[in-house]
Amino acid sequence: METLSEFVASAIEFIVGGVLFLLSVAGAAVAVFHVRLDIKELAALGQAYSTAATAIFASLAYATGVFAESVARASFEWQLDRITVRTPEFLSARGALDVPPDWPWGRFRQALSRRLLGDGFTVADRTVARAERERQRWDVMRTDPGLYADIGGQLKRLRVERVVALCLAIVAFACLWSGHVTPGLFVVVAALGMGALVNARFERFVKAIKGGYRLMRTEAAS
């Protein structure tokens, strides 16, 4: 069960992510739609209603952080899936047959998912591997919180890094759209670097899950 300190730490993560996302979106709005933000008026309003403004801003940042983390997770999920289906501990036998959806959008999503997985892996393979990965993760969390500390640490870093990568992508788009090519290219390089860091973090996350589960089984057998 989540302790108060863990809840506060998670809330701070989402608030930080929300602030970063709000700043990147505000910058994109200024660059793309030429929205004018009167910083002095906002500062004066914040001073006049400091307590209420702080509470409203913290709530807005938290809610935005949750939304940004969801978008970032969906954007990078295919990378984690590629690693997951290639992990023998999660997928011992490949080649499960997909059930073709009846509706066109479902067929398109299925074809896209298979292409992103690569090497002939099917969507059914992904479903099986995901379920086994999450089963092992939850088993470790329920059985040995000490072993789960490494998995939880990797997950916390993943949340922040994915949101940062998403924010950099938004800023890069805004820079290139507004004609600031040189800084835009620098931000593109930074976004690609952060994307590579997220992929490496996924590998550590998967390694922590299978390592923790293996050690848990070894301790239970001894």
**Which residues, at least 6 apart from 155, have a Cβ–Cβ distance to it below 8 Å?**
205
CB-based burial label for 62 (10 Å; 0-12, 13-18, 19+): buried
Instruction: Indicate the range of 101-105, 113-117, 153-157 predicted with least confidence.
Output: 101-105
| Phi, psi dihedrals of residue 216, rounded to the nearest 5° | -60, -45
Structural domains of the chain, count: 1
pTM of the model: 0.83
Residue 68 pLDDT > 90: yes
The fraction of the chain above a pLDDT of 70, given in percent, is 85
Other beta carbons within 10 Å of 184: 19
Distance CA 174, CA 133 (A): 37
Please state, rounded to an integer, the average pLDDT across all residues of the chain: 85
Could you report the per-residue pLDDT of 13-28, keeping only the tens digit for each? 888 888 899 889 888 8
Residue 102 pLDDT > 50: yes
Nearest of 36, 29, 15, 67 to residue 171 by alpha carbon: 29
Residue range(s) defining the domain that contains residue 16: 4-221
Residue 1 pLDDT > 50: no
